[in-house]
Amino acid sequence: MLNSLWLGFFVIAALAALAQWLVGGNAQIFAEMVQALFAMAKLSVEVMVLLFGTLTLWLGFLRIAEKAGLIDLVARLLAPLFARLMPEVPRGHPALGLMTMNFAANALGLDNAATPIGLKAMRALQEINPRPLEASNAQILFLVLNASSLTLLPVSIFMYRLQQGAPDPTLVFLPILLATSASTLAGLLSVVVVQRLPLFSPVVLAYLLPVALGLAAFMAFLATLSAAALAQLSALLGNLILFGLVVLFVVVGAWRKVAVYESFIEGAKEGFDVAKNLLPYLVAMLCAVGVFRASGALEYALSAIRWAVQWLGLDGRFVDALPTALVKPFSGSAARAMLIETMQSHGVDSFAALAAATIQGSTETTFYVLAVYFGAVGIQRARHAVPCALLAELAGVVAAIVVCYRFFG
């Protein structure tokens, strides 16, 4: 799938460039494409420098949290909920702790670091799967929640915005929080309906109802604020929670007699190993996207969509953020490349770039997660995993666009 997507970028770009040359008489188009190719290769390395630091930093702190028992504490707190939503998983099974760590990494926006943990969790669930070639209910719920990717602190998005010169990288904190909540809720409810899980049992309601009511009250409060006040609140909460988590991990680790420095270094080494493997993928996708835009192919497609949106009488500013949304189900690296390219083309704090960043943080990469997680354990029949995950992704994209008009419109 990634092979076809990457090849398609170059083939369509070549056809669009030929049309510009032969029909439009633009003989400079090939020079512009070559220039974009090398410019994006350079940009890939610049992005990777900051990405190395981000992953190394946060995996170091996550290791402190793990050794301090915070991850186990969260797993124990969630155990009654897991027992209702995943009744086939025995209490105390290793998969529960691994899933909790995976959700924690996703919540911190460490999607690349979450994948290795998620694979361990999927293998643990496969050990208790009575039909190894068919996804179990627990595996489907885990995959859909992973694909919806509840992101409470999207540090990787902040990093990309910082690298592109954003005065306040955390400006998109609240929009992403609301959009990712919508995608996760849609994914959870779709699986609950299909698997006929006891959503209205007292235990499940005790967990989900306070969260839903709290989110509703928070959204009602946000509705009373102006766009400027929303932006200020988003930046304040983003930075406050970011630093608050750092202090919490370190203080609790020290209180639990954890060697916090050594634990940080141990986790940071893992972050370095994760980050160094991303450069080839980032170069490949950024260069393909750069050539695709330089050829004019992307603008042709967006112009057609923009015309249809305007014909319907709608505001078309969100169209420039759609490239990230359109490739997100297939490739996280391509979506990341589209996001960075949108920031460069329109400005890091433009409506298009802010909407693209919110879309990027709202969900994971459905088909990539499906292929990697199920492929790693040899599952051939995904059952209802794909439609539930795609519904969650659609909900996240729609919510991201709506929220951005409220915050930045």
- The pLDDT tens digits of the residues spanning 21-43 come to 888 788 888 898 899 888 888 87
Q: What is the mean pLDDT of the chain?
A: 81
Are 307 and 76 spatial neighbours (Cβ–Cβ below 8 Å)?
Answer: no
For residue 385, the one-letter residue type is A
- The pLDDT tens digits of the residues spanning 324-349 come to 887 777 667 678 888 888 898 888 89
Q: Mean pLDDT, to the nearest integer, of 150-158?
A: 76
pLDDT at 255 (0 to 100)? 93
Tally the residues of the chain. Answer: 409
Long-range contacts of 299-305 (CB under 8 A, 24+ apart): 300/16
Q: Which residues pair with 222 in a beta bridge?
A: none
Are 271 and 58 spatial neighbours (Cβ–Cβ below 8 Å)?
Answer: yes
- DSSP 8-state code for residue 153: S
- Cα–Cα separations (whole angstroms), residue 160 to 47, 195, 277, 332: 7, 38, 18, 14
CA pair distance 210, 224, nearest whole angstrom:
21
The pair of structure tokens assigned to 353 is 């770039």
Please report which confidence band the pLDDT of residue 368 belongs to, taking 50, 70 and 90 as the band edges: low
SS3 25: coil
- DSSP 8-state code for residue 226: -
- DSSP 8-state code for residue 134: B
User: By CB neighbour count within 10 A (0-12 exposed, 13-18 middle, 19+ buried), where does 31 fall?
Assistant: exposed
- The pLDDT tens digits of the residues spanning 100-133 come to 777 777 776 666 666 777 777 888 888 888 888 8
Are 329 and 390 spatial neighbours (Cβ–Cβ below 8 Å)?
Answer: yes
Are 294 and 32 spatial neighbours (Cβ–Cβ below 8 Å)?
Answer: yes
Q: Which residues pair with 134 in a beta bridge?
A: 381
